[in-house]
Structure 1
Amino acid sequence: MNMQMLALAFLAFTAIGGLAWVFIYPSLSGEKKAESRRASIARTEPAARQVDKTQRSRREQVEGSLKELEARRQKEKSVPLSMRLAQAGLGTWTPKKFWIVSGVCAAVCFVVAFTVGGGLLGGLGMAFAAGFGLPRWMLGYLKNRREKAFLKALPDAVDVIVRGIKAGLPLFDSIKVVAADAPEPLKSEFLAIIETQTIGMPLGDACARLFERMPVPEANFFGIVIAIQQKSGGNLSEALGNLSKVLRDRKKMAEKIQAMSMEAKASAGIIGSLPPIVMLLVWMSTPDYISLLWTTPMGQFMVVCCVGWMTCGVLVMKKMINFDF
């Protein structure tokens, strides 16, 4: 009897111990946690690979966009005249009309300079300056003025697009809102994007072409953001919101640089204006003394040389006080 009881007790104890080993020991030893950890790692590995692949794809797209930006900068050095006219806001002008206006200006200045006693050499110098220098200076002036107006209105336009996207409007409709209400030249540039997209070009490529008509880094930033979002997706409102912040920070930096360089610009203006002012004062006090400069061949030659050296000096000072960022 005692042996049977002991055998039953031993078997019961063994059964309970086996059940405890099966059900309780894995929890105490951490095998279940390790198994669940391995399962979670196995589940997250494909997702991690997908995220890494997406990040790599976006990185490659950004690198490609930067290479494209560098290529555009190289092309910008040899811009055709028709594109320069469009950048200056003279899209209705043709190169032929530009050359005709330049020739007329050169002829008028030659006749005026020759009539007032400047001589043949002085007339040719004035004709060259009026025919080749003045029209290109006007193109550069109009282009810079148009770019400043564009950069002034671009951050607000990007904010309008961000608010439209957050409100549920498609990107194309948000661009239409900007094209309807924005001031010039932003209005005409966004209308060009709409027209280009309407004829079948993808919206990303249409926005990327904005840099050709408005060659400023901010326009290229906008085109790159839209092009990358169209290719790989992502939170467009967040990307454009960051772009708006970058544009405003660049504007603040430009204004700060403008304020810090005003002293140098004032000094350059005074130095550049001293020779003609002194010449005018001498002519007002003793006209016979200085009139030899435009009444004799040697004096005319000296005036032409002085104008050339003064032009070189002004251009050097302008290069020294202009800052690219």
Structure 2
Amino acid sequence: MLSPEIVQLAAIALAALSVGGIVYVLVMPYLSDERKVSKRVATVAQGQTRARTRIGVPQPLQMRRKQVQDTIRDIEAKQKAKKRISLRTKLMRAGINIRPRVYYMLCAATGLLGGFIVLATGSSPLISLLAAIACGFGLPRWYVSRRLKLRQAKFLTEFANAIDIIVRGIKSGLPLTDCLQVIASETPEPVRSEFVDLVEQQKVGVPLSRAFERMSDRMPLQEVNFFAIVVAIQAQTGGNLAEALSNLSQVLRDRYRLQAKVKSFSAEAKASAMIIGALPPLVMGIVYVTSPDYISLLWTEKLGQMMLAAGAAWMLLGILVMRKMINFDY
């Protein structure tokens, strides 16, 4: 049998290794040369593009490109300036038509109900208070974020078809406003409601660029930003709007297809990560149910608490690594 001192030293060493591993995973990308290399490559590519523009591109095309770049820069600056999002905006994005006051009342009612249910099961007042806080703050926020993701996913599935309606209408001779009214009356939700708001704003005299900007605020997606940028550039510089929107529709379909392919390729890795991450607490719960005296030493003894903390640190490190491996940028 090993002495308690040796076991304690081993636990301390294990905790130190876990902390060092976490620091390595979080800090190493900033200390490595990969960021410097990528920045240098981007700088060289930008310099070559500028030189090529100065040498071989006609002057009118340079002016048009400069106008496009200025428009995109202005839109990005406006989006970066809007960092804080109000509760009313969050509810509007999630498609929940209630006032913030009603939302806070529902949060309070949910918290009181959750705390009362936990207290009625015989738990301590502290645990009931924690349950009330979790039900009052965490559960409503999770529901709103869940509704927001589902609504955005439904919007993306129909947004490319809405752009195709605009393309076909413009090619047949209809103005842009009539095409927007067709989308507002015939497309399914949530695309229909967003374009209904767009058409109603136009009827009261809101400029088209401002209406599209508000639409991107209500539906904060890159695809909507692309659409707003294309329409804003066409309004300022002119050009073939049908061709630009047709190319945008193809890009959106390619992005959606790539997203589905990435999800299918990473589904097995995500399932494996979920199983591996849930296995230790699941086994711990089963052991606690079958023999609580055997496993209770982990939180009753000082050495067990250190081992439990080290195990939790290793679990956190593993989850971060698996999350980094299965999340793809596309």
Aligned position for 2:112: 107
Whether the 8 Å CA contact 2:277–2:315 is kept in 1: the answer is: no
Q: Quick one: which amino acid aligns to residue 68 of structure 1?
A: D
Cα deviation, residue 309, structure 1: 7.9
Tell me which of 58, 66, 71 is aligned to 1:65.
71
Aligned position for 1:177: 182
- Whole-angstrom CA distance in 1 between matches of 2:212 and 2:327: 29
Cα deviation, residue 58, structure 1: 3.1
Tell me which of 211, 223, 239 is aligned to 2:216.
211
Aligned position for 1:242: 247
- Give the number of aligned pairs: 266
**Alpha-carbon spacing, 1:188–1:315, altered in 2? closer, same or farther (3 Å):** farther
Q: Quick one: which amino acid aligns to residue 52 of structure 1?
A: Q
Q: Quick one: which amino acid aligns to residue 125 of structure 1?
A: L
Tell me which of 123, 131, 135 is aligned to 1:118.
123
Aligned position for 1:23: none
Whether the 8 Å CA contact 1:208–1:227 is kept in 2: the answer is: no
Aligned position for 1:131: 136
**Alpha-carbon spacing, 1:68–1:143, altered in 2? closer, same or farther (3 Å):** farther
Whether the 8 Å CA contact 1:222–1:243 is kept in 2: the answer is: yes
Q: Give the 5 Å matches for 1:2-81.
A: 52-53=59-60, 55-75=61-81, 77-81=83-87
3-state secondary structure, aligned to 2:145 = helix
**In the alignment, structure 1 residue 162 sits paired with structure 2 residue 163:** no
Whether the 8 Å CA contact 1:265–1:321 is kept in 2: the answer is: yes
**Alpha-carbon spacing, 1:272–1:118, altered in 2? closer, same or farther (3 Å):** farther
Cα deviation, residue 176, structure 1: 0.9
Q: Quick one: which amino acid aligns to residue 86 of structure 2?
A: P
Aligned position for 2:24: none
Cα deviation, residue 207, structure 1: 1.9
Whether the 8 Å CA contact 1:218–1:247 is kept in 2: the answer is: yes
**Alpha-carbon spacing, 1:212–1:236, altered in 2? closer, same or farther (3 Å):** same
Tell me which of 82, 88, 95 is aligned to 2:94.
88
* Structure 1 runs not aligned, ≥5 long: 1-50
- Whole-angstrom CA distance in 2 between matches of 1:260 and 1:119: 46
Tell me which of 270, 273, 296 is aligned to 1:268.
273
3-state secondary structure, aligned to 2:85 = coil
* Bigger radius of gyration among the two: 1
- Whole-angstrom CA distance in 1 between matches of 2:292 and 2:202: 65
**Residues 217-253 of structure 1, C-alpha deviations (whole Å, 9 max, x = no match):** 0001111111111122110110001101110111111
Q: Quick one: which amino acid aligns to residue 59 of structure 2?
A: D
Whether the 8 Å CA contact 1:205–1:227 is kept in 2: the answer is: no
Tell me which of 207, 221, 228 is aligned to 1:202.
207
3-state secondary structure, aligned to 1:147 = helix
Report which structure shows greater RCO (CA 8 Å, sep ≥6).
2
Aligned position for 2:38: none
**Alpha-carbon spacing, 1:117–1:290, altered in 2? closer, same or farther (3 Å):** farther
- Whole-angstrom CA distance in 2 between matches of 1:81 and 1:315: 31
Identity %: 43
TM-score w.r.t. length of structure 2: 0.71
**Residues 179-220 of structure 1, C-alpha deviations (whole Å, 9 max, x = no match):** 111110000001111011111112232123211000000001
TM-score w.r.t. length of structure 1: 0.72
